[in-house]
Amino acid sequence: MSAPFDIANPTQEHRMLRDMIRNFVSEEVEPQAHEHDRLEKFNSSLFRKLGELGLLGITVQEEFGGTGMDSTAVAIVNEELSYSDPGFCLAYLAHAQLMVNNLAYNGSTEQKARILPKVCSGEWIGCMGMSEAGQGTDVLGMATSAKPSENGSWVLNGRKMWITNGAIDDEGTPADVCMVYARTGEDENGRPQITTFIVENGMDGYSVGQKIMDKLGMRASSTAELVFEDVIIPAKNVVGSPGESMIHMMRNLEIERIALAAMAVGISRRCLSIMNSYASEREAFGKKIREFGQVQRHIGESWAEYRAMRAYVYDTAINTDLGTSGNRLDSDGVKLYSTTAAKNIADRAIQVLGGYGYVGEYVVERLWRDAKLLEIGGGTIESHQKNIARDLGRGGSPIDE
């Protein structure tokens, strides 16, 4: 009899990928997670090891130094890293999905041949700059702009806020490479046109404005403001045709949201595992606490929500083709559901552990802090609600399919 179909490991290759990362996580990620959260430090040497494992270019075509895998593989990596260290995983996601995958699917052959081998190996650390201090959700309101010069190059000016991997050390070294979205004109209806530029460390005028400290969670990732002051961008570093980047942005947001939802699966699985073991060990009033109905409710609801998000995440991943956009409804839906559920599961885990849940040694307080970011980054939960209601309001609603 063949083994039952497992939506989270649809092929043998996916199962092997998951086993390999699980091994790496228990040997190398878990031992450093607590310390890097406490010190608010990005572990760049461990990060570069992800390159040796082929994870930094997980979706990149093999000819450019990548592993050539699919959306399900992206979900597996993000789930497994987040089981242990969501902060470290966020740095991974910003590099491998926001920057590397973006270039792999939107860049020219010349750009891919020049840049992808460096970011796939971990020689270069990358980031993506969309948000600004004055706008996040309202992305078309961005103030960063670029103007063309007569010789074909562009002059980029502006500041990007909240950029994961924006600064790669404590000395304020900016990311080796940043995919920056900037306003480059207006269409005939007066709507801003957005273009993507590849900015490289060493270009005059590209620097770190400030490193953002004292974050609630995701403290093992570095967050920074980036400054672009009259940065001259050669024509070879313009991605696609000027003005067409809304398409790049939308296409890449789908895999970003699936990856963030997969992080929620990892957080939930760990919290559930910790609260379940603890409920069998801890006794009160002469009984294991798992015999109390209120504790059973915490465990039971968490299990059901974890199973539902796992199925939804991997179903969405299987149905998401990296090269095309068109799965917005479910990439919004899965992030909306999973992120709040993960935060609630982490909250219940703290509750089941009582005072122990409130301190770092027992892990769940860190996961609770990290889970909160998932409701904000890559689109707030309100923006997902808005998008879903809009998409379902159009003709041909998929509700009755």
Residues noted as catalytic: 256
Report the candidate in 39, 11, 18 with the shortest Cα–Cα distance to residue 83: 18
What is the C-alpha to C-alpha distance for residues 350 and 271, in angstroms, rounded to an integer? 9
In this chain, which residue has its C-beta nearest to ligand FAD?
Answer: 136
The residues pairing with 210 across neighbouring beta strands, listed in sequence order, are: 225
Least distance in angstroms from the C-beta of 168 to ligand FAD? 13
Max CA-CA distance within the chain?
81
The CA distance from 77 to 311, in Å, is 16
3-class secondary structure, 194: strand
Q: Whole-angstrom Cα distance, residue 13 to residue 302?
A: 29
To ligand FAD, the closest distance from the beta carbon of 133 in angstroms equals 8
Give the nearer residue to ligand FAD in terms of CB position, either 122 or 129: 129
Nearest-approach distance from CB 248 to ligand FAD, in angstroms: 13
Nearest distance from C-beta of residue 140 to ligand FAD, angstroms: 12
Taking the C-alpha atoms of residue 182 and residue 224, their distance in angstroms, rounded to an integer, is 18
Per-residue tokens: 178: 């940043």
For ligand FAD, the closer of residues 29 and 260 by Cβ is: 260
> How is residue 222 annotated by DSSP?
-
Nearer to ligand FAD, 274 or 374 (CB): 374
Which of 215, 233, 216 minimizes the C-alpha distance to 224? 215
Nearest CB to ligand FAD, comparing residues 219 and 290: 219
Quote the least distance from Cβ 88 to ligand FAD, whole Å: 13
Q: Which residues of this chain interact with ligand FAD, rule CB under 6 A?
A: 94, 98, 127-131, 135-137, 162-164, 215, 218, 223, 373, 376-380, 382-383, 386
230: left (phi over 0), alpha (psi -120 to 50) or beta: left
Give the shortest CB-134-to-ligand FAD separation in angstroms. Answer: 8
The 3-state DSSP class for residue 283 equals strand
* Complete DSSP assignment for 136-186: SSSGGG---EEEE-TTS-EEEEEEEEEEETSB-STT-PBPSEEEEEEEEEE
Q: Which is nearer to ligand FAD, 297 or 390 (CB)?
A: 390
Q: In this complex, which beta carbon is closest to ligand FAD, that of residue 164 or of residue 320? A: 164
Crossing angle of helices 44-52 and 86-93, rounded to 10°: 60
